[in-house]
Structure 1
Amino acid sequence: MKNADVDNGYAWIILICSSFVYLIIAGSLNTFGILYTELLDYYGDSAGNTAWVSSICTFFALGLGPFANFLGERYTYRRVMMIGSCLVLLGYTTSAYVRRIKMFYLTHGVITGFGFGLMLSPCSTVVNFYFKKKRSFANGIMVSFSGVGGFSFPYMYRWLIDKYTLHGAFLLSGALLFHSCVAVALLVQPQQLVEKQQMTNRKMISWIIYLREAKQRIFKVGLFKIPKYTICFTALCFQFGNFTGNLIALSGQVRSLDLGKQAIVQVLSVYGATEIVSRTFLGWFAGLNIIKRTNLLMMSSFVSSLIAFGIPHLPYKGALLVYAVLMGCFSSTFWSLVGVLLVDCVGLDNLSPAIGLLLFAMGIMICVSQPVTGWLEDSTGSWDMSFRFIGVLSAISCMCLLLGPMIERMSCFQKERKSNLSNIEKQMEEYNDGAIHMEETNDLVIKDCCSKSIDKVVTKQTEEVHPLYSQKNDPCMTHV
């Protein structure tokens, strides 16, 4: 990558390819609601157990972030993402022949999730190396392609299921998603990472050092010492819990109201279409620096919480369509801010491990949000408590950002206090060392004075006893 390629030239090719890959991954994950309702009808299992299929898949898609980024830096993003494309094809193909819901945990959950995991984090990271001034706008464009997938995939899944049944839809979808390898083949490793890897290769002398380097790079927990990163990390994780919980609850609510399968497609398509506009706009607006990016995220979390608490009181199709629009405008737009927020917190050099740690935590969060959302419906017979749970997650995200400045000031105060205490201790040590040195010097002076006084007394007494002693030591008498 040349300097001319930053914000220009081949950087736009990288953006287009990454956006297409993001369309494939996010479009598949976000429209799982179509497959979710079909799995509920086909296998007749509980809502919570069926939600585990999506949770496991998304957990690996996000949780492999630190490892995928490290492998991408080591062996290039292109190779790692190409392997991911092959695993996605394998996962969807094997899912076409599954006859029990628990086998979906392995085929669609683990295998497909591994494939998505090797693609998602490198795809989200590589764009940030090719853009600087237009980084916010580029991230907004890339994540908006999730909306393109969210708009088109529901119709595609519905048509494939109606024409070829559920298992035939999995088989054909796998072949379609495998086309992501074409976009992956056009990716070029950023020059900054190439030079870094060359330096690393010169330093590597054994596998022990290599593994130590990998551990430090993958789990760079020292980043949590940066208060701003810790605050944004926590807020993004809880907002992600709201986002993923909505993907299950919204489809389940439409199904519970007996509005028909086509209504599920319409609601998810409206949500996806809204994402296209809202994510692009937020990415562009964040780049203007009119409002702080953390404040933009806080406003999105606040509105997401309000609408989640309000939707249980409006069990109508029109209200659900409006909810889908608001969800696309606020609940999921945080993706446009992830890259730029993390660069603001830790810088570009630490972006790869920072994104990896965040995606890993998000993978853990989805294992909580989606199953709990389904289990609440199982226990209450309604999705109302599920939506309230989703609203609480966004409220926690908003509170983290609201208290963020105070936490940062407290952290700075503690650092200054520790620094002042350490300076005082150093000054005390220097003072004590000086006092000891002065005491030792005084002792030497006193000893020297005492020694001279004793010599004078002895000399005087000797002269009194032996008068010739003074003459002998008198220079004037040396001739005698």
Structure 2
Amino acid sequence: MSDSEKLSGNENNGNDSSIENPAQSTSQSAEDFKEGGSGWVVIFAVFLLNFHTWGLNSTFAVFLAYYLKTNAFDTTPLGYAFVGGLSISIALLASPLTTFLAGWKRFGTRWTIFLGAVFETIGFIGSSFASQLWHILLSQGVSFGLGMGLCFVASAAVPPQWFTKRRSFANAIAASGSGFGGLCYSLASNAMIARIGLPWTFRVIAIICFVVNGAASFFIRDRNKAIGSVHVPFNWQLFKRPSFLMLEAWMVLSILGYTILVFSIVAYCQEVGLSSSQASLVGAMFNLAQGIGRPVIGLSSDYVGRLNVANFSTLLCGLLCLFFWTFGARSLASCIVFALLSGSVAGAMWATIAPIAAEVVGLAIIPSALAMTWLVLVIPATFAEVIGLSLRQPGSWGYLHAQIFTGFMYIGAFIFGWGLRAWKVWELEQIRLDKEERELAIRDDGVVGTADLERHVSRTPTVRQRVLKLRGLWSVQRV
């Protein structure tokens, strides 16, 4: 099958994808390696990268609370909100460049990640000398965001290549690095700002990031050649697939809710009367829950079903935001409980996106699918926290509108995710029916007339097939 055929968005024999299905891709590539072994080294390296990229990025909640409290760069709250949103959007916007560099034979995955470590270091060094808002936008926003994007996008597609049976669990362990990184950096950053000041806090972080991420980059080993990965930065044909569109809608609404929740929780705690150290502790507990919750999500996904767990986690986080965060999180104890509960499920999309993408588009085309996904998330990631702060009002109940908005974003994400689950149930049923039809055709070869056989395997949708498309909305099944 040619590359153009692999990337085609046309339907093939009634399937949603013209590419070989994930089960076939997995079975073919499984013969080329033994699950585990080198794969766990790769997982640990990606864990460290997430620790010192997304973990650091979630610590922006601490920096944002400091900026809002001291007005460090003499600007409006919305100006500070753009710093955090810009770092995420630049990281995602860099996905086409990162996909190209990672697939380029003269550069590859390792050097792409190392380049990201360099940009990340430059960003924090630049931030230490910032005196105006545009300085911090360029350094902590653009440069750090570009470095984070190069590290993250280049490494995100690697863990699924090394696992089949434990794919979700392995990917979740790697993703949990962001939670543990956020835990450590939240506590450390708040303490360093108080003791050595903001500039030297940035410099210490810069040194740590360069050493750890630079070393981790050389332990990353991909299997792009073995599985025939397709690195196409702009694969617009994917948007012709309803299943991929539902996946993107799930991610867009999830990132809107997630960004507001992560960046607002520390400032919210200070708004209801907690001290900066207490608010930082709540933020650290949120990140601790992410670090523990993501492997649990991954492990349960391998046994209960990836789409089942992802959708349940999304729905639970929405309900927690609507009811617990809105009405119950008013003291230190209740804020910690909310942080632990919501943190364990808030980032479910990061722990499951790669395995779910493999279910939707197939293993070989994951790099292209993820590159398009990160590109789609640029705009919502840029304006999520801006929306959150614009909804804020004076007073101890000032975050009420932002809390309700966050909750409904997760509920909306659940609706699209459940639709994607229904599609997957239908696809699996179609594969089973196709197999039965082929077996019947072989068994009755020479007995059944050609015309009768053609009618038997006709692709004209029947009432049963239409019902099967909706069956996934209520069926209990491991998906």
Q: Could you tell me the TM-score, scaled by structure 2's length?
A: 0.77
Q: 1:105 to 1:7 in 2, by over 3 A?
A: same
Counterpart-to-counterpart distance in 1, 2:88 and 2:208: 19
**Structure 1 residue 103 corresponds to structure 2 residue 125:** no
Counterpart-to-counterpart distance in 1, 2:154 and 2:318: 30
Give 3-state SS (helix, strand or coil) of 2:274's partner. Answer: coil
Alignment deviations for residues 354-392 of structure 1 (CA, whole Å, 9 cap, x no partner): 111112222221112111001111588811111111112
Counterpart-to-counterpart distance in 1, 2:387 and 2:224: 44
Aligned residues: 397
Aligned to 1:91: 123
Aligned to 1:300: 313
Work out which of the residue numbers 184, 199, 217 in structure 2 matches 1:152.
184
**Structure 1 residue 266 corresponds to structure 2 residue 275:** no
Give 3-state SS (helix, strand or coil) of 1:377's partner. Answer: coil
Give 3-state SS (helix, strand or coil) of 2:53's partner. Answer: helix
Aligned to 1:65: 95
Q: Which runs of 4+ in 1 moved over 3 A?
A: 1-6, 193-197, 378-381, 402-413, 418-421
Q: 1:43, CA displacement in angstroms?
A: 3.2
1:297-376 matched pairs, under 5 angstroms = 297-310=310-323, 311-314=325-328, 315-376=330-391
Does 100-109 or 401-410 show the bigger shift?
401-410
1:5-16 matched pairs, under 5 angstroms = 5-16=33-44
Aligned to 1:231: 246
Q: Which amino acid aligns with 2:166?
A: K
Question: Larger Rg: 1 or 2?
Answer: 1
Q: 1:91, CA displacement in angstroms?
A: 0.7
Counterpart-to-counterpart distance in 2, 1:76 and 1:410: 38
Contact 1:76 1:189 in 2 (8 A): no
Q: Which amino acid aligns with 2:56?
A: S
Counterpart-to-counterpart distance in 2, 1:13 and 1:85: 19
Q: 1:358 to 1:6 in 2, by over 3 A?
A: farther
Contact 2:315 2:411 in 1 (8 A): yes
1:148-227 matched pairs, under 5 angstroms = 148-179=180-211, 180-190=213-223, 192=225, 217-227=232-242
Q: 1:112, CA displacement in angstroms?
A: 1.1
Alignment deviations for residues 381-431 of structure 1 (CA, whole Å, 9 cap, x no partner): 811111111112111111212344667899999xxxx9659xxxxxxxxxx
Q: Which amino acid aligns with 1:61?
A: A
Counterpart-to-counterpart distance in 2, 1:395 and 1:339: 21
Counterpart-to-counterpart distance in 2, 1:35 and 1:392: 27
Give 3-state SS (helix, strand or coil) of 1:133's partner. Answer: coil
Contact 2:82 2:383 in 1 (8 A): no
Q: 1:281, CA displacement in angstroms?
A: 1.0
Q: Which amino acid aligns with 1:298?
A: N
Counterpart-to-counterpart distance in 2, 1:119 and 1:324: 27
Contact 2:256 2:384 in 1 (8 A): yes
Contact 1:30 1:247 in 2 (8 A): yes
Q: 1:368 to 1:419 in 2, by over 3 A?
A: farther
**Structure 1 residue 279 corresponds to structure 2 residue 307:** no
Give 3-state SS (helix, strand or coil) of 1:178's partner. Answer: helix
Contact 2:113 2:151 in 1 (8 A): yes
Q: Which amino acid aligns with 1:313?
A: F
Aligned to 1:32: 60
Alignment deviations for residues 320-339 of structure 1 (CA, whole Å, 9 cap, x no partner): 11111121122112222111
Q: 1:193, CA displacement in angstroms?
A: 6.0
Alignment deviations for residues 135-181 of structure 1 (CA, whole Å, 9 cap, x no partner): 11110110112221121111110122122101111111111111210
Does 128-137 or 22-31 show the bigger shift?
128-137
Contact 1:68 1:80 in 2 (8 A): yes
Q: 1:73, CA displacement in angstroms?
A: 1.2
Let me know the Cα RMSD of the aligned residues: 2.6
Give 3-state SS (helix, strand or coil) of 2:151's partner. Answer: helix
Q: 1:407 to 1:78 in 2, by over 3 A?
A: closer
Q: 1:2 to 1:375 in 2, by over 3 A?
A: same
Contact 2:285 2:339 in 1 (8 A): yes
Contact 1:61 1:118 in 2 (8 A): yes
Aligned to 2:151: 119
Identity %: 18
Q: Could you tell me the TM-score, scaled by structure 1's length?
A: 0.77
Counterpart-to-counterpart distance in 2, 1:252 and 1:196: 43
1:125-144 matched pairs, under 5 angstroms = 125-144=157-176
Does 123-132 or 374-383 show the bigger shift?
374-383
Q: 1:353, CA displacement in angstroms?
A: 0.8
Q: Which runs of 5+ in 2 are unaligned?
A: 1-28, 431-457, 462-479
